[in-house]
Amino acid sequence: MKRIMSSKIGFFMIAVVAIWLKSYLIYLNEFDLDIQNSIQQFLLFFNPMSSALIFLGLGLFAKGRRAGWFVIGIHAAMSFLLYANVVFYRFNTDFITLPTLTQTSNFGSLGGSIASLVEWHDLFYGLDIVLLVALFLFIKPTWSTERLQKRQPMLVMMVGMLAFMVNLTMAEADRPQLLERTFDRNYIVKYLGAYNFTIYDALQNIKSSTQRVLADSNDITEVENYTKNKYAEPNEELFGVGEGKNVIKIHLESFQSFLIDYELHGEEVTPFLNSLVHDQSQNYTYFENFFHQTEQGKTADAEFILDNSLYGLPQGAAFVTKGNNTYQALPAIMKQQQNYTSGVFHGDNKSFWNRDEIYKAFAIDEFYEEAHYDMSEEQVIGYGLKDKPFFKESMPYLESMSQPFYAHMMTLTHHHPYLIDEEDATIAPAETGDGSVDRYFQTARYLDESLEQFFNDLKESGLYEDSIIMIYGDHYGISQNHNRAMEEILGEEITPFKNAQLQRVPFMIKIPGVEGQGTVQKYSGQIDVMPTLLHLLGIDAQDYIQFGTDMFSEDHQEVVPFRSGDFITPEYSKVSGTYYDNATGEEIEPTEEMEKMSENVAHELELSDKVVYGDLLRFYTPNEKWEPVDTSDYRYEVEED
């Protein structure tokens, strides 16, 4: 035993096991990582091992006794990083990122309370370091004479790398595109561990700041010229009709327009939404040719596009990778121009899609997330809180907001894989044999019922009448992987052309005192929502950098770009590079005009990316009234009662 401990490799292995087990213990006891299956359970245990081998292994390259001090030093540094995360997490329920380290606000209010975040049992987390030092000093390793073959440290590294590859492959199998799509810090820690998370975060930030550093203030001029030129004058009759009204924006998770009026087993799937579309007395205007324009960032992309009129990024979610940019978002403009307060309501973990950070840059005042709701087991399914309790419990918060407010209600239950408890299912599943597709109708029905409940509560509270109500779908719910089942549902072949047409999501709006237009055919997309709303409030969108245009404007161009560079117009569509006639669905040879349109779409996307990658809005002052948002003014905490 003594011989093992006093050999270099023996000592190293003790350090590895110590940091490995300690990390695992901390994952289990300190973080709420929402482990959902045995793969995740296994990876949580497994992931510290590769980090321990690789990082501590670096120490082995040092000569003689110094190797021991290196191993101990690296061990202590890893322990410190992990423990810093423990303390940070106790306060923020989130992990440390590079930007949070520089945002003093994260620590400002923490300063005085660090003491209260430290607990006695934390001493235990430092015990292994003390033991390692003692072991090293008192067991007197025979290292000065031991000759490690050069191969050994290399071998350790290779085993570490191999373990990491196994780890990553298993993680990717459980959560495809884990690193590419940049979901949630929780996920990276859960699958790859706290150490790899820090590296991942650092790489992301280096990439981001390089893009930022390379940009300069001249870059915004070209963009400004483009958006000013594209700008569509407001519809005179509607400009300012909504000024001072509350705005309630409802996010329909994974809701595609084909559900509207769809009948399953002879029943309407979404009778309530259908009634808004068809009952003229309800005063809704329904845009039936409205498209989502999201990519990998899914919900986050939808939020990003709707509140900024900028496109999401071709890869990952701008919410995560560009969470520290300067924005001139809808909530900020509404606040500065018309004294609106804003709130987002969502029954999921606040750090998902980095919301708790980027919302500050949008000047969102309140974020009602998981911690504000009763998340007991019977209230939760899939990603989080069920829509009915979500809307119910949101009511008091909504009523307490100072008016006029801009409230963004984000539903969740109608999310892949469309799980639903038996008692919540009021329509039988479809019968295609494809589980997701079959249940899709059940969760859509549940969402529809939750909306009806919410509308009744709004009416009862007196908020309904005088509020602008906006409803939109965020992105598709049924991907192309389910074409076979969808063909059965729709009774037609799902060609690439048809699939593009299926990217329609609902957009409806009610403006107090304005007669609804029923169903309108105009083509538009999520990028157009912000300028539309600004004009309804009487704020001219022209001052701001926006790629969409007012949907009610006479000058609104009916071209809907997608992130891929494809696009749809009322007459023709470009799908995966091929042009189709909308009327026949047949392939067509592009005319010069079509090709020109295509170039323009590509140019527009490129300009939007320039803004986001280069953080160009920091160079732009929309008007004299504009004040850059100070993110340290915002903190999302749960008030203790």
User: Considering the complex, what minimum distance in angstroms separates the CB of residue 445 from ligand GP9?
Assistant: 19
Which residue's CB is nearer to ligand GP9, number 36 or number 339?
A: 36
Minimum CB separation of residue 251 from ligand GP9 in Å reads 8
Closest distance to ligand GP9 from the beta carbon of 63 (Å):
51
Residues with Cβ within 8 Å of residue 415, at least 6 apart in sequence: 253, 254, 382, 383, 443, 477
Q: Which is catalytic among the residues 93, 299, 532, 549?
A: 299
Residue closer to ligand GP9, measured from CB, 352 or 544:
352
Strand 518-525: give its sheet, edge to edge. 366-368, 341-346, 405-410, 246-252, 467-473, 507-510, 284-291, 518-525
**HSE-up (13 A, CA, CB side) for residue 520:** 17
Establish if 293 lies at the interface with Mn ion (CB under 5 A): no
Residue with Cβ nearer Mn ion (388 or 416) = 416
Is residue 350 a contact residue for ligand GP9 (CB under 6 A)? no
CB of 298 to Mn ion, least distance (A): 5
299 is catalytic: yes
Residue of this chain nearest to Mn ion (CB atom): 299
Is residue 219 within 8 Å of residue 537, measured between CB atoms?
no
Query: What DSSP state is assigned to residue 401?
Result: S
Q: Of 406, 98, 452, 401, whose CA–CA distance to 268 is shortest? A: 452
Among Mn ion, ligand GP9, none, the one that 369 touches (CB under a kind-dependent 5 to 8 A) is none
Applying CB under 6 A, which of residues 291, 345, 352, 373 lies at the interface with ligand GP9?
352
Residue 290 has a CB neighbour count (10 Å cut-off) of 25
- What x/- string results for residues 566 through 605 when contact with ligand GP9 is judged by CB under 6 A? ----------------------------------------
Residue 303 interface partner, choices Mn ion, ligand GP9, none, CB cut-off 5-8 Å depending on type: none
Q: DSSP string of 521-554?
A: EEEEEGGGHHHHHHHHHT--GGGS--SS--TTST
Cβ atoms 71, 54 nearer than 8 A: no
Three-class SS state of 163: helix
Q: Which of Mn ion, ligand GP9, none has residue 22 at its interface (CB below 5 to 8 Å by kind)? A: none
Pick the binder of Mn ion from 438, 474, 528, 543 (CB under 5 A): 474
Please, what is the minimum distance in Å from the beta carbon of residue 27 to ligand GP9? Answer: 22
Q: Which residues contact 462 (CB under 8 A, 6 or more apart)?
A: none
Structure tokens at 506: 């609902």
| Secondary structure element (H or E) that encloses residue 178, with its range | helix 178-181
For ligand GP9, what does the binding mask look like between residues 270 and 309, x meaning CB under 6 A?
A: ----------------------------xxx---------
Comparison of 298 and 386: residue with beta carbon closer to ligand GP9? 298
C-alpha 488/C-alpha 486 separation (Å) is 5
Q: Hey, how many other C-beta atoms are within 10 angstroms of the C-beta on 36?
A: 10
Locate 166 and state its tokens.
């196994």
Q: Which residue number, 253 or 424, has a Cβ lying nearer to Mn ion?
A: 253
Task: Say which entry of ligand GP9, Mn ion, none residue 352 contacts (CB below 5 to 8 A, set by partner kind).
Answer: ligand GP9
Does residue 348 touch Mn ion according to CB under 5 A?
Answer: no
294 is an interface residue for Mn ion by CB under 5 A: no
CB of 562 to Mn ion, least distance (A): 17
Q: Which does 528 bind (CB under 5 to 8 A by kind): Mn ion, ligand GP9, none?
A: none
Residue range at the interface with Mn ion (CB under 5 A); choices 14-22, 195-203, 299-307, 625-633: 299-307
Q: Using H for helix, E for strand and C for coil, what is the string for 445-514?
A: HHHHHHHHHHHHHHHHHCCCCCEEEEEEECCCCCCHHHHHHHHHHHCCCCCHHHHHHCCECCEEEECCCC
When the beta carbons of 352 and 362 are compared against ligand GP9, the nearer one is 352
Per-residue contact string for residues 374-393; x = within reach of ligand GP9 by CB under 6 A: ---------x----------
Is residue 359 near ligand GP9 by the rule CB under 6 A? Answer: no
Question: Does the footprint of ligand GP9 cover residue 93 (CB under 6 A)?
Answer: no
Max Cα distance, the chain (Å): 91
- Sole binder of ligand GP9 in the list 307, 348, 357, 528 (CB under 6 A): 348
Tokens of 30: 């300190």
Assess contact for 303 and 502: CB atoms under 8 A: no
How far apart CA 527 and CA 548 sit, in angstroms, is 5
Give least dist CB 367 to ligand GP9, A. 12
* Binding status of residue 167 toward ligand GP9 by CB under 6 A: no
Which residues are bridge partners to 341 per DSSP? 405
**CB closer to ligand GP9, 18 vs 302:** 302
> What residues from 395 to 454 belong to the interface with ligand GP9 (CB under 6 A)?
412, 415
What is d(CA 133, CA 15) in angstroms, rounded to the nearest whole number?
10
Q: Which does 365 bind (CB under 5 to 8 A by kind): ligand GP9, Mn ion, none?
A: none
Q: Which of 207, 281, 306, 256 is nearest to 478 (CA)?
A: 256
Stretch that binds Mn ion, among 54-62, 199-207, 472-480, 483-491 (CB under 5 A): 472-480
* Three-state DSSP class for residue 165: helix
Residue whose beta carbon is closest to ligand GP9: 298
Judged by CB, which is closer to ligand GP9: 388, or 556?
A: 388
- What size, in residues, is the chain? 641
Residue 563 CB contacts under 8 Å (≥ 6 apart), including other chains: 293, 294, 295, 301, 311, 312, 314, 605
DSSP code string of 556-582: ----EE-TTS-EE-SSEEEETTEEEET
- Which residue type does 567 have? F
330 binds, among ligand GP9, Mn ion, none (CB under 5 to 8 A by kind): none
In whole angstroms, the minimum distance from the beta carbon of 410 to ligand GP9 comes to 6
Nearest distance from residue 269's CB to ligand GP9, in Å? 20
Residue recorded with tokens 């959560």 = 175
Asked whether position 301 contacts Mn ion by CB under 5 A, the answer is: no
Convert residues 20-59 into a mask of x (bound to ligand GP9 by CB under 6 A) and - (unbound): ----------------------------------------
Q: How far is the CB of 363 from ligand GP9 (least distance, A)?
A: 20
299 near Mn ion (CB under 5 A) = yes
Q: Please identify, using beta-carbon distances, which residue of 106 and 254 lies nearer to ligand GP9.
A: 254
| Residues making contact with Mn ion (CB under 5 A) | 253, 298-299, 474
Catalytic site positions: 299
| Residues making contact with ligand GP9 (CB under 6 A) | 298-300, 348, 352, 383, 412, 415
